[in-house]
Amino acid sequence: MSIRRRLVGLVTATALLVSAAPALATDTQPLALYVNGRELFLPQVPILKENRVLVPMRAYLESLGAEVGWEPPDLVTAALGGRTVQLRIGEQTALVDGRSVPLDVPAQLIEDRTYVPLRFLSEGLGATVEYDGEAAAVTVQTAPPGQLEVIDGPLNVRQSPSTSSPILMTVPLGTRLEIVTEEPGSEWTEVLLPGGLRGWVANRYTRTLGSQPVVEPFLPILEQRAFLQAGGQCVGAVPIIADLTLVPLAETMRALGGSLERTEDGAGMRARLSGRELMLVPGSVEGWLDGQLRILTAAPVVVGGRPFVAARDVADIFGLPLSWSDATHTVTIGEAGTVCNPPAAAKAYIMMDAATGAVLSEYNARDPLYIASTTKIMTALLAVERGNPNSVVTVSSTAASQPGTSVYLRAGEQRTLGELLYGLMLVSGNDAAVAIAEHISGSEESFAWLMNQRAAELGARNTYFVTASGLDDWVDPYSTAEDLAAIAQHALQNPRFRSYMYPTQAVIPGPWGNRQLTNSNLFTLRYPGATGVKNGWTEKAAYTLVASAWRDGREVLLVLLGAPTRTELYSQAYNLMDHGFILAGQSWLLN
């Protein structure tokens, strides 16, 4: 058995049915636990024992988004953000990134559960811990990722900390850059660029990223999902398990105007709404409404420290109307409000948070469709991952003779890879696409194989690339809105990729003078806060678009496929993106 295994991979319909919390020993005190501002409702509660805070190992590590491993009979391994902790039950020392560290309290078994010391485990994984004795609460902040985010762009990354220093790269709003050195009070920060290159950015145009809500434990259970409207807002994507729509209880109660709190013994939860009180225990179908027994449709389950209950139980118990829409895949508790999945004059779309991949809205997002020149996102991603932007590419006759949109490359012409990438992303040059493919893999056919391999690595399971350009006259490539979003979301994490997708114009040399390249993506040119990404059209695909935009510290990613006209494409994109920022502000995953 691998010692490093993501715990959420074990979450299935049966594994979710956790047992109720065991009765605590008489010398322990239950505590409330908060991670990055969210109270955790763990199946087994944290306890204060012998003046030390202990937490249930597996449930806590899952809520943190850590990888957890277990080697019988007693070895525990946890990994988070590049840091690793190993400890054995009952031993007074542990390993932090291979270094031996003494423990004042060892990991131990309590009521047949493995409990570990909270402060040591959290700080060993890079988090900070604060204990409030009066409130009987512990607060954990996971370590920020050591990144800057561009808040005023485009931003020049320079060779040295000076405005007169040569520019290494220019990146748009929302770009995240890894910090190398950050001196307090300094006006500049050194950052790491792709390929190991280092540069400097002016601090007044960036902010240091702080700890974010942990979403990793929830993404696997949202593979099968619906969307929840409650209290007049779209709470967001929620899991469907065993044909039941489950809703996050704490956030649903707040949206409905109620509350959720832990019971005094820490073993259950108390939901209050409209003067009524419901007592629940994870793993039990027995609930108590105002002291009267109620049998639930399904037992509440806890994933990532969040309790989930069946939507129909919330509605039935508190006397609220419940409705379901097959068209929008939305369950509504109470009155309808913000629409989760608005209608679209296109075949499919999806919106997600660009930083986390949390889905905000979708329509036919898993339908295989033609995607036209949005294919070039993968072409550009592979080029920046595997190529050097300064390397010289000799254009073949095959590349120069490509039909459709073009940079007007000539056979035998030599251009740098970086220049070809501007031609690829700004004017959608099919000739540039094939020249890049041949440079990276030797032939377009070999490059297409590489594209499919990379797509599979990124979780795009229903995608088939045939060409580097997206031309589909004689072949049948396809992808889905969801797959294309997964590819684009990963690409947006690469500053080098971003540097080629957003400029209004670029100039590259040609045999008879400079070529003036003007960005053909009207979304990038016209939408406030737009950062990219790529548009496309073929007769088979109709009009397609992958768009990203940054607003109030958040970036939203939109994929829109099969719009009937160019006007409809951009009109729908502007409306959906506006709506996406509203949904991001209401999402239970992000707030």
| Catalytic hit among 49, 122, 347, 376 | 376
Who's near 530: CB < 8 A, 6+ residues apart?
A: 502, 523, 524, 547, 548, 549
| Catalytic hit among 361, 428, 479, 587 | 428
Task: Name the DSSP class of 195.
Answer: G
User: Strands 32-35, 137-141: parallel, antiparallel or unpaired by DSSP?
Assistant: parallel
Residue 34 in contact with residue 250, Cβ under 8 Å?
A: no
d(CA 563, CA 569): 5
Who's near 509: CB < 8 A, 6+ residues apart?
A: 415, 419, 515
**Angle at CA of residue 531, ends 529 and 537, nearest 5°:** 115
The dihedral through the CA atoms of 289, 292, 297, 298 has a sign that is positive
Whether 49 is a known active-site residue: answer no
* Residue carrying structure tokens 């950050």: 182
d(CA 233, CA 255): 7
Residue 367 in contact with residue 407, Cβ under 8 Å?
A: no
Who's near 221: CB < 8 A, 6+ residues apart?
A: 8, 11, 16, 239, 241, 303
Residue 352 pairs with which residues in a beta bridge?
359, 557
How far, in whole angstroms, is CA 110 from its chain's centroid? 35
The phi-psi region of residue 473 (left if phi > 0; otherwise alpha if psi is between -120 and 50; otherwise beta) is alpha
Whether 376 is a known active-site residue: answer yes
d(CA 40, CA 378): 39
Residue 558's φ and ψ, nearest 5 degrees, are: -125, 135
Residue 515 in contact with residue 509, Cβ under 8 Å?
A: yes
The phi-psi region of residue 104 (left if phi > 0; otherwise alpha if psi is between -120 and 50; otherwise beta) is alpha
d(CA 91, CA 283): 32
Strand 32-35: give its sheet, edge to edge: 38-40, 32-35, 137-141, 128-132
| Residue 489 C-beta-side C-alpha neighbours within 13 Å | 24
What is the DSSP secondary-structure string of 387-450? S-TTSEEEPPHHHHT--SS-----TT-EEEHHHHHHHHHHS--HHHHHHHHHHHHSSHHHHHHH
Whether 373 is a known active-site residue: answer yes
Nearest to 449 by CA among 434, 430, 431, 468: 468
| Catalytic hit among 122, 361, 373, 479 | 373
Residue 249 in contact with residue 309, Cβ under 8 Å?
A: yes
The residues that are catalytic are 373, 376, 428
